[in-house]
């Protein structure tokens, strides 16, 4: 449980720090207008949506074999949670890359949306108990 929380906080902190560095480094910089940011912006929002769908409907509740021990079930829950973190980290990083290339502040909103989804997946004892039931 503690490991999952630490991992979760580390991913969220790294995204926030990267966003702040990019925001202050690129604030008021004139960047080239010929970059394909619209495609990058659409890709980041599409990845965010796909990640949300996968988390809600595929990785929402792991399926356990009835003869697994508690430790084996907890190992599956940990792997499941790490997959959820990766699924939400990818669109957030793409949004930050889009912001770095284009200076488009709307991309930071997409990163913030991914961070909010990460917050909703924060591991608590109650969530883990719900998975075990």
Blockwise average pLDDT, block size 10, the chain, 133 residues:
81 86 72 65 86 84 76 83 87 88 84 91 82 72
Residue 44 lies in a domain: no
Q: Which helix (H) or strand (E) holds 42?
A: helix 37-53
Within a domain: residue 55?
Answer: no
* pLDDT for residue 112: 93
pLDDT in tens, 33-69: 655 677 778 888 888 898 888 888 887 776 777 788 8
In this prediction, residue 32 carries a pLDDT of 58
**Is 26 part of any domain?**
no
* Domain around 79: 1-21+69-133
Would 82 be classed as within a structural domain? yes
């Amino acid at each position: 449980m503690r490991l999952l929380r630490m991992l979760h906080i580390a991913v969220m902190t790294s995204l926030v720090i990267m966003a702040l560095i990019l925001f202050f480094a690129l604030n008021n910089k004139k960047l080239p207008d010929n970059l394909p940011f619209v495609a990058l912006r659409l890709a980041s929002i599409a990845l965010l949506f796909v990640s949300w769908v996968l988390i809600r409907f595929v990785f929402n509740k792991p399926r356990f074999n009835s003869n697994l021990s508690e430790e084996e079930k907890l190992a599956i829950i940990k792997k499941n949670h790490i997959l959820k973190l990766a699924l939400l980290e990818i669109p957030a990083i793409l949004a930050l890359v889009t912001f770095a290339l284009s200076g488009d502040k709307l991309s930071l909103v997409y990163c913030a949306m991914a961070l909010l989804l990460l917050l909703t997946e924060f591991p608590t004892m109650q969530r883990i108990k719900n998975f075990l039931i």
